[in-house]
Structure 1
Amino acid sequence: MKLSAHCSAVLLALALPLSGAPAAIPAGFSATDPRHASLRRLEDRAFALFNSDDYALSMSQQTRDAWLQLHAAGMRAKVGGRPHPLAGVALINLSSMDQIDGKNPDALARSNEGLTLLEPFADAYPIAWMQGLSIKGFVQIALGNVAGGADTLALASAYMDGYIARTPADRLDKDTHMLRSNIAFSHAQALTRLGRNADAVAAQKASMEARITAAGPNSPDTIGSYYTYAQMLQRADRDAEAEKYARMAVEIATDHVDRKHPSYARALEALGLLLSRTGRRVESLDYLQRAIAIKRETVGTDSLYFQFGLQNLGSVLLPLERYADAEPLFLEAESGFRKIEGENSPQSARALAFAASADVAEGRRDEGIARFEAALARVRAGSDKDRDIGQRVYPYLIPALIEAGRVDEARTIAASFVAETAQLDNAPALPLAQAAMLSAWTGPDQGRLGEAARRLVGVLRDGAAMNDNGELTEDQRAALDTVLAVAAQTQDAPLALDAMAVLAGSRIAQANRLVAQRLVADPALAARVRGLQDKVKALEAADSRLLKALATDKDVAQARVDRAAVAADADAERAALSRDYPRWVEARGGERPELTTLRAGLGEQEGLLAVMPAFDGVYLLAVGPHGARIERAQRGRAAMVTLVNRLRGSLTPAGFDQGAAIDLYRQIFTPGILASLDKARDLRIVPTGAFASLPFAMLPQRPVAKVDRNTPWLIHRFAIEVQPGFAIGARQMTRMAMRDQRFLGIGAPQSFAVAAPALPQRGGGLLAANAYFRNGGADAQALSQLPSLPGSLTELQAVAKRFGADHATLLVGGEASEGALRRRDLSHYGVILFATHGLVSGEMEGVTEPALVLSPPASATADDDGLLTASEVAGMRIGADWVILSACNTAAGKDAQGAAYSGLAQAFRYAGAGSLLVSHWPVRDDASAFVTLETVKGANRGLPRAVALQRAMLKLIRSGQPGAAQPYIWAPFILMGR
């Protein structure tokens, strides 16, 4: 007996695991007993109708009547006083038809009755028995009884395993193995819904293996099993294995499946989503875009399958701040969902809400508000039970209404947010904390606002700590924007510092992801990290319980006590990790600064300025010797980022966009910010996002008619040091005089084009930094197209000459290699200069990381591929007072979103370097040598390092060298701190 094709299709959409076995077959029973031949003829007739290629006939009343006729006849034909088991088979197939028709209560009743009739004879009708259990499990889940459905499917899975084990292989046909795969698939899906991810992995693996047996390793159906298994592995935090199977699905689909087959597009989409969920959104874009293009060509746009693809791609673009690219995708999906599901489609409302969030981020506040309100109205017109859309809309809509001056409306909606969130049985901590803070912000009693905002920051910090990639979601960044807006309104500098530390920490963790992974290769640290994550999960749960108690005003005292105990446990573990593994904590951006400690760490004439974009705003925190101030820039995030990109894109040896430069100065260095910095002469700047690529030193303090040696650049006002986070260490003292320092210069490496002359050349100019990596290592073809650096050898020789032949060592040409560096003791050099290409900006993620380009080896290995990456640097032992990266950043990305040199800077810090001197863009050889030498000499005379760089820049401006007054020549240099 073969399994119905319809039942096979249904079972693909369900599945869970079970255990147990039916009773023994009554003595003397035979399924082929000639006395029941008429029943078997009725069965054959019903199956012929049900398995018809004509779907309408297969699901017709004629087919139902055939099954009902078999059931009635089976009930009359007794076996040992019981109805004939074909009566149960008939009911199980009727239950399948009910389930396909969406009549789940009828399907459950019939499957229960059919299983009861069939149970004593199950071993004689094993396929029907397992089919009945599978249908029952599926409809139990569909009706809300997930645990019960899981138990039923476990029973089906266990029986199937026994049946396969006791049946000779030559009697097991394709349909049986396919049924086994379907049952195990459904089992895995149910286990996932119950949070039993490890068990779900095992069940999906069984499904995949059965599918391979049934259909072969390269069939479209099997490809679906590969990427579903990858999804299960990813949920179980087994990302490396997940990526292996997701890539396998794509590779097999590419080699063996027609491009128009749905499995091909689905394999691409599954890999893209997996990469996205593991923090590699840029890499995921190509797969998601290809999947959409194939869907558009093959299945068309009139399907939910296509619309969800659009929405998935848009959701990946949002955290990359590519709002202009995301918005049209959401709007197309919104239109498609509405066309398919009707005017009040919940999915269309969600797509519209996503588009609205892009509007707000791009500064189109009024348009965003209108779309948010339309999304809410659309869902409420269709149903008053869909709370999810409110959780998506309220956190964005309420702050936008406040900014628009519509406070009364914001207050009403905030009350709805609180009420609806309190009604959710298992509301996460984030929406509960957001609802409480937004209610306090819009309410008449502002006394609760500070406490509510701090609680929200704590939830966000814990959520970020749980993400191995350090990446913040769009919702988290929007929540931090709201906190910073409250801090600016109330001038709560400690609150602003808390929120900014989360933003900065996220950027640090992203830049140092592979460095942190190398550190966690230590089993002892890995175990401690897992232990901390478990404690943070417990703290998130305690936060949710406390916030729910506050929202409902029930059991608040006990929830506070419980939360305090869990928090104390988590804080103790954090402190212990910071003590025992400070490098890992720093790499993860996990340091939590206190304002008093930060101010105490500043020098007498030193100030700190943080410049951070959040969601739709850019926030400024100035900390001076005697006070602090938090402000929101007058222009929004999108406009400010546009100014940075305008300035960076306009820089040439002949000039720059003076309008953009002066506008940025006025937006950042407001009267209030300058007053807080007071008389500070040294300035530490903590920038994130686009502002990490802003050359602050060249911002003019007032408009000028022309650029000359007297232009009032910011470098005249402040000696500047840039740092990725808020750690303030003790000032480092010079360890030796220049005459005693040893110098190591590495650069002018052999070209990859020489090492790989047979490789075809690509068109175009420089690529984004991400493009110079392939499969975790160097992409020789891309690296072969980097332009030569003819002046780097001259620069190295000029610097070496100043140190003297006895104190200088040069590794150039073929000797500028990873191998040569590893063979050398680097702890004895006071100054180390790299004069080569740096792959540091653009969208770096995944297996790629910031790197310096050295000479290619004769044969590449994992340890020597010609790229000295940040994680490799972190494993070195360097004793230099100064590490200087010259002529770097020539492989810049398309915009200013990269985190500049933070990844490399941190790596050299971990390796033991004192200060890092780097450049924002390619540097003229003579200018680089001049600034390098003057800065090192000044520091050796006892000047603070930022002051030494400041004086070197000013000396170059006034030197009279050709073009030296132009900022393109002197402004790229920055001193990087921790």
Structure 2
Amino acid sequence: MTRYLAATRAGLMLAAAMLAAPALAQEDAAEAPPEAAPPADAPLAERIQYWADADRDGDPAAALAALMALQTEVEADPSAVSARQRGELLAMIGVAHYAQQQMDDAALWFDRAEAAYAEDGNAPDKVAEMAINRAVLMRRANRLGEAEEAARLALAIRQDLYDEPHEEVASALGTLGNVLYSSGRYEESLDLMRQALDEQRAAGPDDAFEIIKRLDSLASLLDETGRDTEALRVARESEALARAHLGRDHAWYGYVLNTLGQVLLDLTLYGEAIPVIRETLDVRRQQLGPEHPYTAASQMVLAVALEETGHLREASALSGAATEILEQHRDLMDPNTLAGFLRTRARLAASLGEWDLYAQRIADAEPVLAEMLDSQNPALAIFHIDHAYQLYRRGETDAARELAERWVPILAQKLIPANNDRVFGELLLARLRQLDGDAASQGDALWQTVDPVAAQLVAKLSDVRAADRDIARQASANSAAMLLYLETALDAGDEDRAFGAVQILTLSELALTQGRATDERGGGESEAFALHRQLVDTNRRLRLVERRIALELSADSEEGAAEALDAQRAQLDALAGELLATLVADHPDFIARIRPQPISLERLRQSLGEGELVTIPVETTFGSWVVQVDGRGMVWTSVDGESLRANVAALRDAVAPDSDLGAFPAEAAHALFKQLFPSGLGDHRQVFLYGGQSLASLPLAMLLTGEARGDLAGAPWLVRDAASQVIGNLAVFAAGRAQGPLRAGDISTFAGIGGAELPGEAGGEVQLAGLFRSGRPAADSIADLPPLVTADAELQALADALPGDDVLLVGSDAAEENFKRADLSGARVIAFATHGLVAGELRNLWEPALLLGTLDKDSGEDGLLGASEIARLKLDADWVILSACNTAAGADGGAPVYSGLATAFAQAGARSLMLSHWRVRDDVASVLSVETVRGAASGLSRAEALRQAQLALMSRPDIADAAHPAIWAPFVILEN
């Protein structure tokens, strides 16, 4: 992910405006008006009722004119109708004004309607309805104090009217919640939104439409307040209900899709988000037309997501078309948001090397931004600094420096030192001065300028108060800045600084999680972990209060609101300070693990034994390197990133489910080996892989150390010469080898889970092609999954290979409800032999999951143990074996590899993992897992045990295609 993803949030906020005008409370009109209007001499009450039953939306202007004519008659003879009838007429006039965006007039008419209903004395429900309408109007006009007063009046009336749960009470709770949200009172708003949903479920459990609206509002608020995991769960439920009960042609289906897409993007789950955003865009094109600004906003959001996943050409085309539309609707957009979109449009052309198009897009954007933004506006400066960066990448350093010298000082003046854009600009300017040979940008003088700037990034990535996911996002968002620091260090010949930059460029949520995994032995939550969880939550609440203060929303609130906010901020700040001080004083080792500083090159070298090599791929858009470290030192090699990624893609295609097992791209496997190991393996017999983007999707074992001659069985695979494993955290790795080999005294309990009993039968013989371990292709529902024929035997064999007690949950005993009740706190080795599902491969599956099944549809479980549920487990496992398909995959196609089930199990307390990079045949999974565990139990390291199991498998004549890497190479060991 790049530093530019901030544009996504702005784009989604604009796209969310598709909700347009808030709904007013009003009586439902009939589907069609009466055949003919009553004659002009009909009683007024009859003519008012006609319009109450009519479809007034077809011609709002004509409807308003007719209603105003009726009002003139009523004013001439008020006694001709009852107070309630007058109220209904006045309310319809208010709605008609609202429909034509005449907000002030609408408010006046609603006030008059409320007074008429109050005069009637028997219409408190109507008084509440008008108060709701006034609250909606005042909220939209940002008169939030008046909006809150009206919303609280409506809620009080409705709570007095109804003793039992009622949908009108739910509506009033939701309205008040929205008002408080707009006021920046997020926690209060969240409480009300939860109450509104509970009230609606109790009042109308069969009213799917109202429940969908409540779920959608709650999901948006959860996402906005940083509760992203819960937001995802609620957004999924909303989407599923909307699809089932409303259908894709309903306007609200577009709304809930938009919310789900926003939540997924905020979680950086691009592979899951992109199909949702595409469908949102399709819905909006159908409902609003392709030229509507809200359609264009969704199109821009899709472009940013596609850019993050490398689909640059489609992203560029989408962003170009969308920005042209949005430029015509500047009144709907914050200028800073439009500036971000224009930057994105230009950047995508540069990323494709289409420099003429890039120049045109820059030229088109400059006058627009000059008209919209002040010359000292940071957004304008950021636009020009991004342009300078693209010129630098193209080698036009003189023009780049001229721009940087002009615009970077504005950011230094306007933004705090830790601001990401300021840091990026200052590092770019320092790099350009270094290239120009400025005396003040060489030697110690260079680092006196650059180090304090880079330290701002390091401090962010060491923030104990922030959640792991937020730290990983910061690292990704600042990757371009850290790449500049890396290039500066390499050009200066400073290996230590370059090595530090590499560690920040490769920082991931998995690396942070592995630092904390060792803290929860015994299955319980340590004091340090509990303190840190409380600190992160307090910091989250503090950020929300500070956001509210920054919005300056207290001016329209009650007297003393600003002082109360300041007091709340001070209280939360003090509490966060106390918690942090306690952690620092009492648990310094814990802090060092969860927020490790980049380690020195010398520290890593000292941790390596004879014959051990650490390989670190650094892949970026603008350059790629391979860093190799052993006990003798470090070697840097620049590689062609495009060629590297092409080789990886060829090998991934060769092991895809529909691949031809009679062929293999041996040239790509050998070329990739030479890129990663330009001097060969030498005397290295243990290779550790750290980091990487595309390279993290392949096991090193399947590379060819030489040219393949003859059949694959005799090919010179890397696995023949060296064991390989993945490490997730360099600091933890360097601190000492974690577990080492398994020995009898180390194992107190083995737990095996799998073989879920499902409806259906396995069709035909086992094949590689297919969606799941057992080879059934294209299943799109749980009921279609085939049974796992060898799972129970595999788990029993694993149990037999290990000493100590066993816990086996097989077949129906493996049901999710049983698994969650089982005590696994003493299990040191846990194995899952079940279907491993990748997000998006099953209908309604939105996160990676293990399939366990369920015994009872009313159990409250869905039979899928998702990544978010796994992360909440409390384990004390030295080793978790996922004998299932594709379990090394990231949460989606755009997320880093190992970010799905791997990170979830690390969060749960697993200290090492055995994972698969692609779908594994059922018979092969059982052989590799059992033989690897047997080897580890005999004293081999896990990586060496897997190596020997793979070598033995590829020579077995009884296993079809055993010599092909698609069969023998899927598993990797991930441990520190």
TM-score (norm 2): 0.66
Look up the equivalent residue of 2:836 and give its one-letter code. L
Look up the equivalent residue of 1:573 and give its one-letter code. L
What's the counterpart of residue 150 of structure 1? Answer: 144
What's the counterpart of residue 682 of structure 1? Answer: 686
Q: Is the 8 A contact 1:275 1:283 kept in 2?
A: yes
Change (3 A) 1:372 1:70: farther
The secondary structure found in structure 2 opposite 1:656 is coil
What's the counterpart of residue 839 of structure 1? Answer: 836
Name the CA distance, whole Å, in 1 between partners of 2:499 and 2:61. 65
What's the counterpart of residue 431 of structure 1? Answer: 421
What's the counterpart of residue 652 of structure 2? Answer: 648
What's the counterpart of residue 621 of structure 1? Answer: 627
Whether 1:730 and 2:728 are equivalent positions in the alignment is no
Whether 1:665 and 2:686 are equivalent positions in the alignment is no
Name the CA distance, whole Å, in 1 between partners of 2:332 and 2:140. 26
User: Alpha-carbon deviations, 1:879-935, whole Å to 9, x = none?
Assistant: 77xx76667549989979762598459848976777858676647969985997599
The secondary structure found in structure 2 opposite 1:292 is helix
Change (3 A) 1:422 1:835: closer
Change (3 A) 1:127 1:756: closer
Change (3 A) 1:815 1:417: same
Look up the equivalent residue of 1:308 and give its one-letter code. A
Whether 1:293 and 2:282 are equivalent positions in the alignment is yes
What's the counterpart of residue 870 of structure 2? Answer: 871
Change (3 A) 1:516 1:504: farther
Look up the equivalent residue of 1:399 and give its one-letter code. Y
Name the CA distance, whole Å, in 2 between partners of 1:160 and 1:820. 47
Deviation of the 1:573 alpha carbon: 3.5
Change (3 A) 1:875 1:228: closer
Change (3 A) 1:426 1:654: same
Instruction: Determine which of 695, 706, 712 is the counterpart of 2:699.
Output: 695
Deviation of the 1:696 alpha carbon: 1.7
What's the counterpart of residue 599 of structure 1? Answer: 605
Whether 1:12 and 2:22 are equivalent positions in the alignment is yes
Matches within 5 A, 1:889-900: 889=886, 899-900=897-898
Deviation of the 1:686 alpha carbon: 0.8
Q: Is the 8 A contact 1:734 1:940 kept in 2?
A: no
Look up the equivalent residue of 2:536 and give its one-letter code. Q
Whether 1:273 and 2:273 are equivalent positions in the alignment is no
Deviation of the 1:464 alpha carbon: 11
User: Alpha-carbon deviations, 1:340-362, whole Å to 9, x = none?
Assistant: 6699996776555434555566x
Name the CA distance, whole Å, in 2 between partners of 1:166 and 1:970. 70
The secondary structure found in structure 2 opposite 1:766 is coil
User: Alpha-carbon deviations, 1:138-193, whole Å to 9, x = none?
Assistant: 999889xx6xx323333434455566678999xxxx9xx99x99998776555434
User: Alpha-carbon deviations, 1:617-646, whole Å to 9, x = none?
Assistant: 44433333243355653324xx54343121
What's the counterpart of residue 785 of structure 2? Answer: 783
Name the CA distance, whole Å, in 2 between partners of 1:269 and 1:722. 37
The secondary structure found in structure 2 opposite 1:472 is helix
User: Alpha-carbon deviations, 1:291-328, whole Å to 9, x = none?
Assistant: 33333233322322322232334444444555455444
What's the counterpart of residue 532 of structure 1? Answer: 535
The secondary structure found in structure 2 opposite 1:899 is coil
Deviation of the 1:402 alpha carbon: 1.5
What's the counterpart of residue 27 of structure 1? Answer: none
Deviation of the 1:839 alpha carbon: 1.9
Q: Is the 8 A contact 2:699 2:917 kept in 1?
A: no
What's the counterpart of residue 190 of structure 2? Answer: 201
Q: Is the 8 A contact 1:464 1:472 kept in 2?
A: no
Look up the equivalent residue of 2:667 and give its one-letter code. G
Look up the equivalent residue of 1:453 and give its one-letter code. A
Q: Is the 8 A contact 1:181 1:210 kept in 2?
A: yes
Look up the equivalent residue of 1:686 and give its one-letter code. Y
Deviation of the 1:722 alpha carbon: 1.8
Deviation of the 1:700 alpha carbon: 3.4
Q: Is the 8 A contact 2:460 2:471 kept in 1?
A: no
Name the CA distance, whole Å, in 2 between partners of 1:222 and 1:969. 48
Deviation of the 1:404 alpha carbon: 0.8
Name the CA distance, whole Å, in 2 between partners of 1:571 and 1:218. 50
Instruction: Determine which of 311, 334, 348 is the counterpart of 2:323.
Output: 334
Change (3 A) 1:364 1:789: farther
What's the counterpart of residue 400 of structure 2? Answer: 410
Matches within 5 A, 1:437-456: 437-443=427-433, 444=438, 445-446=440-441, 447=446, 448-456=449-457
Name the CA distance, whole Å, in 2 between partners of 1:427 and 1:92. 54
Name the CA distance, whole Å, in 2 between partners of 1:229 and 1:747. 38
Whether 1:977 and 2:967 are equivalent positions in the alignment is no
Look up the equivalent residue of 1:976 and give its one-letter code. L
Name the CA distance, whole Å, in 2 between partners of 1:768 and 1:569. 46
Matches within 5 A, 1:514-593: 528-533=531-536, 570=580, 573=583, 579=589, 593=599
Look up the equivalent residue of 1:270 and give its one-letter code. T
Deviation of the 1:508 alpha carbon: 1.2
Q: Is the 8 A contact 1:747 1:816 kept in 2?
A: no
Change (3 A) 1:449 1:66: farther
Change (3 A) 1:961 1:842: same
Largest Rg, 1 or 2: 1
Deviation of the 1:662 alpha carbon: 3.2
The secondary structure found in structure 2 opposite 1:306 is helix
CA RMSD of aligned residues (A): 7.1
Look up the equivalent residue of 1:529 and give its one-letter code. H
Deviation of the 1:667 alpha carbon: 3.4
What's the counterpart of residue 635 of structure 1? Answer: 641
Q: Is the 8 A contact 1:841 1:900 kept in 2?
A: no
Deviation of the 1:540 alpha carbon: 8.9
Deviation of the 1:270 alpha carbon: 2.6
Q: Which runs of 5+ in 2 are unaligned?
A: 1-18, 26-43, 76-88, 548-572
Percent of residue pairs identical: 19
Name the CA distance, whole Å, in 2 between partners of 1:399 and 1:608. 32
The secondary structure found in structure 1 opposite 2:687 is strand
Name the CA distance, whole Å, in 1 between partners of 2:224 and 2:519. 19
Name the CA distance, whole Å, in 2 between partners of 1:623 and 1:594. 12
Look up the equivalent residue of 2:185 and give its one-letter code. R
Change (3 A) 1:432 1:692: same
Name the CA distance, whole Å, in 2 between partners of 1:296 and 1:514. 46
Look up the equivalent residue of 1:271 and give its one-letter code. L
Look up the equivalent residue of 2:508 and give its one-letter code. S
The secondary structure found in structure 1 opposite 2:736 is coil
What's the counterpart of residue 506 of structure 1? Answer: 508
Judge which range, 288-297 or 921-930, deviates more: 921-930
Name the CA distance, whole Å, in 2 between partners of 1:97 and 1:814. 62
Deviation of the 1:455 alpha carbon: 1.6
What's the counterpart of residue 79 of structure 1? Answer: none
Look up the equivalent residue of 1:405 and give its one-letter code. G
Change (3 A) 1:887 1:246: closer
Deviation of the 1:723 alpha carbon: 1.5
Name the CA distance, whole Å, in 2 between partners of 1:429 and 1:535. 22
Deviation of the 1:399 alpha carbon: 3.3
Deviation of the 1:398 alpha carbon: 3.9
User: Alpha-carbon deviations, 1:386-431, whole Å to 9, x = none?
Assistant: 9586477567544332121122333344345535545768998322
What's the counterpart of residue 399 of structure 1? Answer: 389
Name the CA distance, whole Å, in 1 between partners of 2:710 and 2:174. 71
Instruction: Determine which of 268, 287, 296 is the counterpart of 1:307.
Output: 296
Q: Which runs of 5+ in 1 are unaligned?
A: 1-8, 16-39, 72-89, 545-562, 773-777
Change (3 A) 1:685 1:140: same
Q: Is the 8 A contact 1:511 1:849 kept in 2?
A: no
Name the CA distance, whole Å, in 2 between partners of 1:977 and 1:343. 51
Change (3 A) 1:494 1:246: same
Aligned length: 880
What's the counterpart of residue 74 of structure 1? Answer: none
